[in-house]
Amino acid sequence: MRTTIDIPEKLINEAMKITKAKSKTELIKKALYNIIQKNKIKGLKNYKGKVDLDIDLNSLRDRNEYSN
């Protein structure tokens, strides 16, 4: 999809240096991916302390003991 947007050149240049993006398209893709990932992580953090998985770590650590 082609879209025309007005972004300050100084901002683009600084972001390209930081990300080492080879093109403006690659830079924008990286930026969008980063925004999406951060929002997904933010959503997962809302569950911190609210989910009880009831996991026995000792049994998980020993699960491969009998598989050989």
For the stretch 39-47, contacts whose Cβ atoms lie closer than 8 Å and that sit 24 or more positions apart, written own/partner, are none
pLDDT digits (tens, 9 = 90+) for 8-35: 999 999 999 999 999 999 999 999 999 9
Provide the residue ranges of all domains of the chain, joining segments of one domain with +. Answer: 9-61
pLDDT at 65: 58
Residue type, 49: G
Tokens standing for residue 5: 């947007």
pTM above 0.85, yes or no: no
Contact between residue 16 and residue 27 where contact means Cβ atoms under 8 Å apart:
yes
Average pLDDT along the chain: 87
